[in-house]
Chains A and B, each alone.
Chain A
Amino acid sequence: MVNLLDVQNVKRTFPRGGGEELLVLDDVTLSLKDGEIVGLLGRSGSGKSTLLRLIAGLSRPQGGALSYMGAPIEGPVQGVAMVFQGFALFPWLTVLENVQLGLEALNLPAREMRERALAAIDLIGLDGYESAYPRELSGGMRQRVGFARAVVVHPNILLMDEPFSALDVLTAENLRTDLVELWGNRKLPIKGIILVTHNIEEAVLMCDRVLLFSSNPGRVASEIKIDLPQPRDRTSPQFEDYVDKIYVEMTARRVERMRQQVGVAAIEMPLSHVSPNQISGLIEALSAAPYNGKADLPDIAYEQELEVDELFPVAEAMQLLRLAEVEGGDIKLTHMGKRFADGELNERKEIFSRALQNHVPLAAHIRKVLDERVSHSAPKTRFLDELEDHMPEDAAEETLKTVVSWARFGELFSYDDDAAAFSLENPT
């Protein structure tokens, strides 16, 4: 039997300033079979959404091939419908008109359009809202319209791009269970679903298979089959095992990558933006009961209401500054980390400053340049150019921005945004 979808060695790049190309997806292969829900899990920047747009035929790959039911994908595909993260409803169309939009494009007779649209609205639980405008609806109801609009065209494949991440926790859970239930009862006129998410529990809750994506460039790093009957129970030990397994899988890879990077220990190491406040916050949480210095990553993420996306960069920064160590699925405070947790503000600043000097080559480098110059100041471009030799422009900006916020906290040097210059003097 032909797969619903086949993606073979797909590659996608985006042009950068200065003729450079940014590789977003590299050598991605996956397939979707009849009756499956496949989850794409990874951090933002791992190219998951880009992949989804390729599958929908909204953009073209630079290499590899995609096929839908055996036919190559060369543009928007009739049997593939998408549900968007930001709902993508047209504010000037009513709920009914929004749902009908896809049918209008099919040139169906007016009566059939209406009947199908009303049926979809009924199925998704939007009865009574037909004549409302999207702005009159809550987020959850809006996303229901998004689902109805996708379902009404009877697609074979439903693509979902983080459909719940713009909703509050309760609404999202409510919508997830409704969807799983409809899917389980075979009420949806859909053969397969691809779900993009960065929420591990969501992936384990809904998917038959989960593909873990690594970032920069996006690749399928591993595949995990979720062998649990639906409906799934979040509190069951098997469920938690799957969540843990995915956490360990994801952190192990990241830690490995960071080891390599730290090994390089050069000024051109890209830093993702994490504020000193986030670092202090996580350190305090870690040092307090019940963790007392050591925690399971999924646990503390849940406790702190952080998503993988938000937790990893902070953990990574702490590892870089040697304030904590990440091993397996655990995070542990180092000696310095504990002193930081116990210290007063001034002591914290001092620890932070020393960590910057010793473990963040870029910070040490900037400080050294400022020390050596007679004016004790240097323009931003001096360092930006240096970084841009090794990384794309926006990564360089972000790296510099991160260093500035860390250095400000550690009072290692100061930065004047108006003049776009670093200096040693404190503002008067």
Chain B
Amino acid sequence: MKILPPVSIEARRLLPNRWDLLAAILVLAFIIAFADVSRFLVHPLSSITGHDLQLHLGDLPGYALRTALRMLIAMAVSLAFTFTYATWAAKNARAGILLVPLLDILQSVPILSFLSVTIVWFLSLSPGLVFGAELACVFTIFTGQAWNMAFSFYQSLRAVPEELIEAGRMFGLSSWARFWRIEAPFATPPLIWNMMMSMSGGWFFVTISEAISVGKTNIALPGIGSWIAIAIAQKNLPAIFEAIGAMLVVIMVYDQLMFRPLVAWAERFRIGNEQSEEQPQSWALNVYRRSRLLDVLTAPFEQMMRWSYYWHPPSFGIRAATRDVDSRVANVLWYAILGLLSLYATWRIYDFAHGNLTWGDLATAVGLGFITLLRVLVLIALASLIWTPIGIYVGLRPRLTAIVQPVAQFLASFPANILFPLAVSVIVIWDLNPDVWLSPLMVLGTQWYILFNVIAGASSIPQELRDAADNFSVKGWLWWRRVALPAVFPYYVTGAITASGGSWNASIVAEVASWGTRTLHAHGLGAYIADAVASGDFRHVVLGTAVMSCFVVVVNRILWRPLYWYAERKFRLT
């Protein structure tokens, strides 16, 4: 299955339009609003600190279970978000024109920023601190999961074959029934794929979302993430390995009990007659299917869904573009609201920047942004140099592919930041330059996207093409230049885009890393944001976040987007 690139890459236009701009303004104003609220709310006096959390191995399964549950709840919230937001964006052209660029901006905002500006607000929601902290934690994981799921769902809804929609109309299905019986099933296989991607995204930030440290607020919720944070503080290497072990178990349980069954089950929604090479199998799905209990439990819901199909909602599913009667009035109203909203948001941003930030601050952040950009580009280039030839070598050998491919996919889903402490301890011991040696951590987890995409690309080169190259004695550099590299190029670009996006996000945890009392700093925008969060300096959090989003979106548009479309047009093997 193909990984979906971010919105700004799928977009056909190079230059952002006013909707992109509006989206950016709204997101920024939203973050500022939260940051402002946070400043006025009373900081909690006591914090849930790590004192009551001990590294007893016996507690670890319980912690793992809590972490797994948080991930599950966040996934449920992400799904709810996907089904509402993406459906709204797809069904209502007027809304979609703003909602889709919004997703792009949201996707580029570093996850830590979401956490830092919302944590105080979440804590203030609940009288007891723990509940608010749990909410904040789930919210953070949610922000790491939701956007690409929503975008995938949106894309699928827009791509439902017209024939299917018409068939639904002819059988008199209401728009509600059509959504559940045609559109949602059609969008399910890619959505599940993106859920799996999202899950690994969530894992990556489980440490910072459980062991929350924003300004004076210090919270450690019982879970694997906090366990790791404490282990780092205590320089407890065995505990780190125990956490890795627990994480492996949880990831595998999720894979076996949830994702594999889902993938196998969703196979039926695949449109088209060609069967996929390998029918996905899942023992768990077979168990679920044979279970009577599950039948009994789900039967009422199924019945309810069936009844609901008689419901004919007046507007659900009608695309606004096809509506004509009231469109003028509605349009005027809609644009007026948006205009006012954008004016207000701009004023908010101006007001915030005016009192708190100077042009010098901006220059500093942008300068650091370029340093991080340099890091990302150099490291992606290095990772490409290493993994592209290896990926091609592996992909052309089916037996090797069968071994390496699952490993690479697993490594991509494994939260590489767990390994950071090990790297940091090495840097400390050998007294290496953090500006150089912390950098590889940024691609530690994301480089695998390049590897497994290139493997997929190489193994999909048709036998006939390889035979043709052999037959005409195309060998050596000529073979790499004319055959192998062009063939994997589209796959490589998709992998590199994913790796690059992930690396920006990872820079926040990679450019500042600690081991015991030693904290290593590299110069860069990631460290800038991380420091601002740690000291509770919302002005710089907001500035850093805005600059980073800007970098991500601009790099996507001027570097990756043209490459992506060039690759799709010229090199895609059909």
Which residues of A are interface residues toward B (Cβ below 8 A)? 53, 56-58, 76, 78, 80-82, 84-88, 90-93, 101-102, 104-106, 133, 135, 149, 153, 418-419
> Bound state CA distance, A81 and B467, in angstroms?
11
- CB-based contact B289/A84 at 8 Å: no
B470 within 8 A of A: yes
> Bound state CA distance, A392 and B532, in angstroms?
65
- CB-based contact B465/A56 at 8 Å: no
> Bound state CA distance, A84 and B573, in angstroms?
16
Question: Which residues of B are found within 8 Å of A104, using beta-carbon distances?
Answer: 474, 478, 482
Question: Which residues of B are found within 8 Å of A87, using beta-carbon distances?
Answer: 464
Question: Which residues of B are found within 8 Å of A91, using beta-carbon distances?
Answer: 570-574
Chain A nearest CB, measured from B131 CB (Å): 42
> Bound state CA distance, A90 and B466, in angstroms?
10
Task: In the A-B complex, list the 10 residue pairs whose CB atoms are closest, starting with the nearest.
Answer: A102-B472, A88-B468, A88-B464, A92-B486, A105-B473, A82-B471, A84-B464, A105-B474, A76-B470, A92-B571
B290 within 8 A of A: yes
B555 within 8 A of A: no
> Bound state CA distance, A152 and B128, in angstroms?
81
> Bound state CA distance, A76 and B466, in angstroms?
12
Question: Which residues of A are found within 8 Å of B289, using beta-carbon distances?
Answer: 418-419
Question: Closest chain B residue to A161 by CB distance?
Answer: B464
Question: Which residues of A are found within 8 Å of B475, using beta-carbon distances?
Answer: 105
- Assuming the contacts A58-B471, A149-B472, asked whether A86 and B478 have C-beta atoms less than 8 A apart, the reply is no
- CB-based contact A102/B473 at 8 Å: yes
- CB-based contact A93/B473 at 8 Å: no
Interface size of B by CB at 8 A reads 24
- CB-based contact B570/A90 at 8 Å: no
- CB-based contact A105/B470 at 8 Å: no
Listed A/B pairs (19) with beta-carbon separation below 8 Å: A53-B467, A56-B470, A57-B470, A58-B467, A76-B473, A86-B464, A87-B464, A88-B465, A88-B468, A90-B483, A91-B570, A92-B486, A93-B482, A101-B472, A104-B482, A105-B474, A149-B472, A418-B289, A419-B289
Question: Closest chain B residue to A420 by CB distance?
Answer: B286
Question: Closest chain B residue to A56 by CB distance?
Answer: B471
- Main SS of the interface on chain B? helix
Partner of A92, one of B290, B462, B570: B570
- Assuming the contacts A53-B467, A58-B467, A86-B464, asked whether A105 and B472 have C-beta atoms less than 8 A apart, the reply is yes
Per-residue A-contact encoding for B430-469, CB less than 8 Å = 1, 0 else: 0000000000000000000000000000000010110111
- CB-based contact A80/B474 at 8 Å: no
Question: Which residues of A are found within 8 Å of B471, using beta-carbon distances?
Answer: 56, 58, 76, 80-82
> Bound state CA distance, A149 and B482, in angstroms?
15
Given contacts A87-B464, A92-B571, A149-B468, 15 further A-B contacts (CB under 8 A): A56-B467, A58-B470, A80-B471, A81-B471, A81-B472, A82-B471, A84-B467, A86-B464, A88-B468, A91-B571, A91-B574, A92-B570, A102-B473, A105-B475, A105-B478
Question: Which residues of A are found within 8 Å of B573, using beta-carbon distances?
Answer: 91
Question: Which residues of B are found within 8 Å of A76, using beta-carbon distances?
Answer: 470-471, 473
Question: Closest chain A residue to B476 by CB distance?
Answer: A105
> Bound state CA distance, A106 and B471, in angstroms?
12
Chain A nearest CB, measured from B314 CB (Å): 36
- Assuming the contacts A91-B573, A101-B474, asked whether A82 and B468 have C-beta atoms less than 8 A apart, the reply is yes
Per-residue A-contact encoding for B185-212, CB less than 8 Å = 1, 0 else: 0000000000000000000000000000
Partner of B462, one of A81, A82, A88, A153: A88
Partner of B468, one of A84, A92, A133, A419: A84
> Bound state CA distance, A104 and B482, in angstroms?
10
Question: Closest chain A residue to B483 by CB distance?
Answer: A90
> Bound state CA distance, A91 and B470, in angstroms?
17
Question: Which residues of A are found within 8 Å of B467, using beta-carbon distances?
Answer: 53, 56, 58, 82, 84, 88
Chain B nearest CB, measured from A101 CB (Å): 6
* Centre residue among B482, B570, B574 by max chain A CB count within 10 A: B482
Question: Closest chain A residue to B489 by CB distance?
Answer: A92
> Bound state CA distance, A133 and B478, in angstroms?
20
> Bound state CA distance, A379 and B574, in angstroms?
38
Chain A nearest CB, measured from B349 CB (Å): 46
Question: Closest chain B residue to A85 by CB distance?
Answer: B464
Question: Which residues of B are found within 8 Å of A133, using beta-carbon distances?
Answer: 570
Question: Which residues of A are found within 8 Å of B472, using beta-carbon distances?
Answer: 81, 101-102, 105, 149, 153
Partner of B482, one of A88, A90, A135: A90
List CB contacts (< 8 Å) of B471-523 with chain A.
Answer: 471-475, 478, 482-483, 486
Chain B nearest CB, measured from A378 CB (Å): 15
* Centre residue among A86, A92, A101, A419 by max chain B CB count within 10 A: A92
Partner of B486, one of A57, A80, A90, A106: A90
List CB contacts (< 8 Å) of B553-574 with chain A.
Answer: 570-574
Per-residue A-contact encoding for B2-39, CB less than 8 Å = 1, 0 else: 00000000000000000000000000000000000000
Question: Which residues of B are found within 8 Å of A101, using beta-carbon distances?
Answer: 469, 472, 474, 482
> Bound state CA distance, A91 and B483, in angstroms?
10
Question: Closest chain B residue to A84 by CB distance?
Answer: B464
Chain B nearest CB, measured from A39 CB (Å): 20
* Centre residue among A57, A80, A81, A105 by max chain B CB count within 10 A: A105
> Bound state CA distance, A91 and B464, in angstroms?
13
Question: Which residues of B are found within 8 Å of A58, using beta-carbon distances?
Answer: 467, 470-471
Chain B nearest CB, measured from A421 CB (Å): 10
> Bound state CA distance, A286 and B357, in angstroms?
88
Question: Closest chain A residue to B286 by CB distance?
Answer: A419
Per-residue A-contact encoding for B162-175, CB less than 8 Å = 1, 0 else: 00000000000000
> Bound state CA distance, A104 and B469, in angstroms?
11
> Bound state CA distance, A135 and B568, in angstroms?
13
Chain B nearest CB, measured from A48 CB (Å): 15
Question: Which residues of B are found within 8 Å of A106, using beta-carbon distances?
Answer: 473
List CB contacts (< 8 Å) of B147-169 with chain A.
Answer: none
> Bound state CA distance, A104 and B473, in angstroms?
9
Chain B nearest CB, measured from A286 CB (Å): 28
- CB-based contact B465/A90 at 8 Å: yes
Question: Which residues of A are found within 8 Å of B570, using beta-carbon distances?
Answer: 91-92, 133
- CB-based contact A135/B574 at 8 Å: yes
Chain B nearest CB, measured from A229 CB (Å): 32
Question: Which residues of A are found within 8 Å of B465, using beta-carbon distances?
Answer: 88, 90
Question: Closest chain B residue to A104 by CB distance?
Answer: B478
